[in-house]
Structure 1
Amino acid sequence: MALSTERSRRWSKDMPPDLSELMNKLTEHAASFIRLFDNDKPKMRHIVRRFQEIAAEVREMQETTDGVRTAGAVGGGVGVGVGLLALVAAPFTGGASLVVAAGAAGTAAAVGGAATVVGANISKTMKEKGSAEKVEELGKEFMEIVEPLKNKLQEIKTTCEKLEQRSTEALTDNTLSDVREFHMILGRVSKLKEKSEDILVIVLEGMGIIHNLILFLLRVFRVTATPEEDKKLRDSILQSADQCQKVVNEFDKMKNELGNFTESKETKNQ
């Protein structure tokens, strides 16, 4: 899909040397991005699938823990109620031992219910199943794969900006042999710049979300998570899964844009 070095130089031969050099550099960056993405795309898709699978597991955990917490809270309330009933009945039954026994039973039930509530949390379950470690591993791997692609996008964006600046000067100086054609090329360059800017925002946002998820995992597993922290953890995993998918989709679109750009230059020189 990418141009050879010889052909990529031919299509810009009518431009001033500095513009021609920038065009060739943009074509090389485009080809490099396409190669990188084609190589990494299967691994990225695998990570997305694993994230989505874990996110589905977390949804199930949430339903389970919500049920257990509700049952635990009800059990605790019943236990307290048993103790109170014993105290109310004591004067009429005349049984001091009944007060002690019933009160103890109520206390035990309440403690048991509270223990159930404390013990039921997503972070604990994930840690026991190894899911937490897998999420951290997947997040780090995804960011490592994305980093070189992000850097290549930055190079494409920077080269496009330089081309726009230099082309404005060339148009002013009347140094172009085919102004109409150059305007068409410049339009494509501007489109690539805008696309690379948009995707960089999405990539940086995604990497930030994953980074925050990893930090949150490290913090929440040091203590027993609260229901609020459980919810935040669940939401962070779901958000990370969605963002990883979004990054892959946007890289796919960028690959197509770059492919169209290089192919149009190749067609011109055939």
Structure 2
Amino acid sequence: MDPRPRRRRNSKDLPPNFSELMNKLTEAAASFIKQFDNNEPQMWQIIRKMRTISERLKQMQETKDRDRRIGARVIAGAVLTGVGILAAPFTGGLSFAAAVVGAAAVGEGGGARVVYRNIIKQKREKESVQKVEDLGEELKKIIEPLKETLQEIKTTCEQLEQKSAEARTEITLRDVEEFKEMLRRVPDLKETSGEVLDVTVMMIQMIRDLLAVIVAVFTFTSTPEKDQKLRDAIIQSADQSEKVLNDFKRMKEALREFTGRDGAAVTTSRAST
């Protein structure tokens, strides 16, 4: 037996029909790994920010709901006691809204202060939601190129499978054991890329749904139900984004294993095709 280590085959050793596809797959794998490594820290940061904002929104919206109830009781009491609607004709031109605020100022420890605090809280809430919208757009911008590279990997695997079936006899006649073993792993790589691609597409759709919810909540009057729907959409988007990140890590390891743990490409020379 020859004691010398087996060298890695390059594209000169491969059947010509496969050389270009293998180069394409190798380059797409390297591109995915590089994109993911460059963007992973930022993606985790975005997810953490989304979760933090969701928790902050929950606290602000719970306080807002409590103040809504206080304000409603104050105004109802003002109307019942005649300070509101009944007093409006005798306010010397004072508007109904001003009369109600004036009534609120003497009830429940100063309801007017509640109204003012609500305005401030709503402003902060809107700023937080705007931040979520910006983070969602930022995440989409990072994910889209990775999705496209995943699609290229999956498509190339499908083409390799097809060519492998068509040229099985030709490959068998060649002494290219490493290449044949690699082809046997193409279906697994295709399946993994397809799974990760599906999760990625779902994540992008959830981000789009989140942005739609944001528009709906701040276009129409906010309600506790809409507030809850917004918080749920933010958390679901963060959860799905985290799942995508973990699947990207799984894809990265599968690609490294396929192309060689040392990072060397199975096929590297386009000039030889």
1:260 aligned partner: 257
CA distance in 2, matches of 1:204, 1:148: 12
Per-residue deviation, 1:46 = 1.5
Q: Indicate the residue corresponding to 1:38 in structure 2.
A: 37
Q: Gapped runs of 5+ residues in structure 1? A: 1-6, 84-98
Deviation at 1:173, TM superposition (A): 5.7
Instruction: Compare the two structures and name the one with the higher helix fraction.
Output: 1
CA contact (8 A) 1:170 1:176 kept: no
Match of 1:221 in 2: 218
Contact 2:200 2:244 in 1 (8 A): yes
* Alignment-derived partner of residue 205 in structure 2: 208
TM-score by length of 2: 0.73
Counterpart secondary structure, 2:167? helix
* 1:155 pairs with one of 148, 152, 156: 152
Q: 1:22 to 1:56 in 2, by over 3 A?
A: same
Contact 1:22-1:163 at 8 Å conserved across structures: yes
- Give the whole-Å Cα distance in 1 for the aligned partners of 2:155 and 2:179: 19
| Counterpart position of 1:241 | 238
Displacement of 1:218? 2.5
- Per-residue CA deviations over 1:142-168 (Å, capped at 9, x if unaligned) read 101111111100000000000011101
Question: Which position in structure 1 is the counterpart of 2:91?
Answer: none
CA contact (8 A) 1:203 1:247 kept: yes
1:181 is displaced (CA, Å) by: 5.4
Residue 14 of structure 2 contacts residue 176 of structure 2 at CA under 8 Å; is this kept in 1? Answer: no
Q: How far off its partner does 1:239 sit?
A: 1.1
1:53 is matched with which residue?
52
The structural deviation recorded for 1:69 is: 4.1
Secondary structure class of the residue paired with 1:225: coil
3-state SS in 2 of match to 1:221: helix
Paired amino acid for 2:143:
V
Cα deviation for residue 53 of structure 1 reads 1.1
- For 2:168, the aligned partner's letter is L
1-side partners of 2:211 and 2:84: how far apart? 48
Q: Is the deviation greater in 213-222 or in 180-189?
A: 180-189
* Contact 2:193-2:251 at 8 Å conserved across structures: yes
Match of 1:188 among 171, 178, 185: 185
Shift in alpha-carbon separation, 1:101–1:143, aligned structure 2, 3 A:
closer
Extract unaligned runs of 5+ from structure 2.
Answer: 1-6, 88-98, 268-273
Q: Percent identity?
A: 47
- CA displacement at 1:215 relative to structure 2: 2.5
Deviation at 1:24, TM superposition (A): 2.0
List aligned pairs for 1:135-150, cutoff 5 A. 135-150=132-147
1:157–1:197 contact (8 Å) kept in structure 2: yes
Distance 1:178 1:77, change over 3 A: farther
1:25 maps to a residue whose letter is: K
Per-residue displacement from partner, 1:120-143 (whole Å, max 9, x unpaired)? 69x935545x11221111111110
How many aligned residue pairs are there? 241
Alignment of 1:58-73 (within 5 A): 58-72=57-71
Match of 1:18 in 2: 17
The alpha-carbon distance between structure 1 residues 209 and 170, as it changes in their structure 2 partners (threshold 3 A), is same
Task: Supply the distance in 2 between the matched residues of 1:225 and 1:45 (Cα, whole angstroms).
Answer: 30
How many Å separate the matches in 2 of 1:13 and 1:176?
A: 16
Q: Post-superposition shift, 1:220?
A: 2.3
TM-score, scaled to structure 1: 0.73
CA RMSD of aligned residues (A): 3.8
141-150 or 170-179: bigger deviation: 170-179
Residues in 1 aligned to 2:83 and 2:58: alpha-carbon distance in whole angstroms: 42
How does 1:39-188 map onto structure 2 within 5 Å? Answer: 39-72=38-71, 75=73, 79=77, 83=80, 124-128=122-126, 130-171=127-168, 176-178=173-175, 184-188=181-185
SS at structure 1 position matched to 2:219: coil
